[in-house]
Amino acid sequence: MSKARDLADLLDANGDVELDALDNAPSGSGKNLIINGAMQVAQRGTSFTKSGSSNVYILDRFNQVSNASAATVVYSQDPEAPANFKNSLKFSVTTADTDLTSQRCLISQFIEGQNVAHLNWGTADAQDVTLSFWVRSSLTGTFGGSFINSAEDYSYPFTYTISSADTWEYKTVTVTGPTAGTWLDTNGVGIRIHWSMGTGSYRLGTAGSWSANRYEGATGQVDPVSTTSATWYITGVQLEVGSVATPFEHRSYGEELQLCKRYYQTSGSGAMGSQVCLCGRGNGTASSVAFLPLPVQMRSSPTSNTNIASTEMFSIAGYGSGTATVSAYAGTNRGMGTALLIGGLSGGTDNRPNYVAFSNELTFESEL
């Protein structure tokens, strides 16, 4: 069975924390492998209504993975939170999906392989980890989730129990380090962690053990997405080395934001109010290449560079008429910046310096 435990499991008969538990607990900053576990950062917005099948990011580093085609759910950064926390991630069902036979709805965080390489998963030296979080729901019972590798062919389903409706409860799940399976230690997906909001039996497995299967939830779990008006909240998410959950590592907002910017960031407004101005050079007569410095080096070349429509680009010095388009430039992830290719132009000069001005912010995405 699953190794999910409540905080009470760490207390002795007198209600004190067991000394051996503290002796085995990791210490120091940087212990939490989860980014934005306190749900502080919401660069894309604070509320998202999602209908049907979609895999999209919501609050920073947390994403919806869903093919529950009949469901409509709202995700939001919510002020409802337990003591010592400001925000939570709220999941609220507007329209239920009652047939999950071959469907699932997951809230997930994918952890970069370089950040979990020290766990040595897939080897004889694999380290145990403990996941802890605060959760509340309008529903009660046994809920499920899973740890799974990048290839999605090796997984560990887990369970946790919500005993009282609409009440914050602290949960921990200890996972034995897997000695098998393929686990990336690159800038790809190292570990996928799923909290299942509903999963069909085709991807449910027995909690508490590793297997060569793609399990995204646990047999017997509650499926919130199948209940209209159901709510589920989470915050204080922490993943750390060892078999004991320690107090949540509160990072400053600035630290958390910088960690998030490796995967998603915006250019911000320029010195001229809402404008963003970039220096560029002619790339033939019909396009220009402009370089944008970024405060944080991104995980990889951004796959979605901009939210700028061609009509919002108001000036390209040195070019004539044309319908401008914006896309990534080859090898665009260049240290502390990225390059944009502005095409669809005319009348330019190859290699001639120019400038490009945008009326709105640019966005850059390099999610896992």
* Domain limits, the chain: 4-261, 264-365
Do the beta carbons of residue 226 and residue 100 sit within 8 Å?
yes
Enter the tokens of residue 159: 């369970």
Angle at 217 between CA 26 and CA 91, to 5 degrees: 85
Q: In 201-229, which positions are buried (b, 16+ CB within 10 angstroms) versus exposed (e)?
A: eebbbebbebbebbbbbbeebbbbbbbee
Count of residues making up the chain: 368
Question: Residue 116 in contact with residue 35, Cβ under 8 Å?
Answer: no
SS3 (DSSP) at 74: strand
Domain range 4-261, CATH architecture: Sandwich (2.60)
With cut-offs at 50, 70 and 90, classify the pLDDT of residue 21. Answer: very low
210, pLDDT greater than 80:
yes
- Residue 301: predicted pLDDT: 80
Confidence band (pLDDT; 50, 70, 90) for 331? low
Residue predicted with more confidence, 125 or 8: 125
Which one is predicted more confidently, 306 or 85?
Answer: 85
Name the pTM for this structure.
0.88
Pairing of strands 217-218, 204-205: parallel
Lowest-pLDDT range, 63-67, 78-82, 284-288?
Answer: 284-288
Q: Which residues contact 55 (CB under 8 A, 6 or more apart)?
A: 63, 64, 65, 66
Question: What is the pLDDT averaged over residues 197-224?
Answer: 98
Q: Please tell me the least confidently modeled range out of 185-189, 233-237, 306-310.
A: 306-310
Q: Which residues contact 330 (CB under 8 A, 6 or more apart)?
A: none
* pLDDT at site 133: 99
Share of the chain above pLDDT 90, in %: 64
